[in-house]
Amino acid sequence: MDQDRTGQTLVIFLSARTAVDDPGYAAAAEEIAALAARQPGYRGVESTRGLDGFGITISFWADAASALAWRSHPRHSEIRELGRGRWYESYEVIVAEATRGYRWPG
């Protein structure tokens, strides 16, 4: 979290998990994170999930074209469909551009 994110495209993924197949979900999440990190324009990810199953994941991309290419990646599409059928009760995706930011090093 020590870099300037200004100008980057942020893909914000808000999700509510089911209680189904935690091992399968964990394996898919690990695979998708490794695959995303190898994509052109990938700049990082931050993620958290509460005990109630609500999660927030923000992936950072150099530009909107890179984020869109990731959305269209064949393996990402396959895992997304598995998620809809098995691991998520619901989700929302918000795409935004970082116009400014700051950090407290505390």
User: What region, left, alpha or beta, does residue 76 occupy, with left being phi > 0 and alpha being psi -120 to 50 degrees?
Assistant: alpha
Q: What is the mean pLDDT of residues 82-102?
A: 95
Task: List the 9-17 sheet strands across, edge first.
Answer: 42-49, 54-61, 9-17, 88-97
The model's pTM is 0.91
User: What CATH number labels 9-97?
Assistant: 3.30.70.100
Whether residue 1 is predicted with pLDDT greater than 80 in this model: the reply is no
- Segment 22-28 mean pLDDT: 95
**Within 10 A of 15 (CB to CB), how many other CB atoms are there?**
19
pLDDT for residue 103: 86
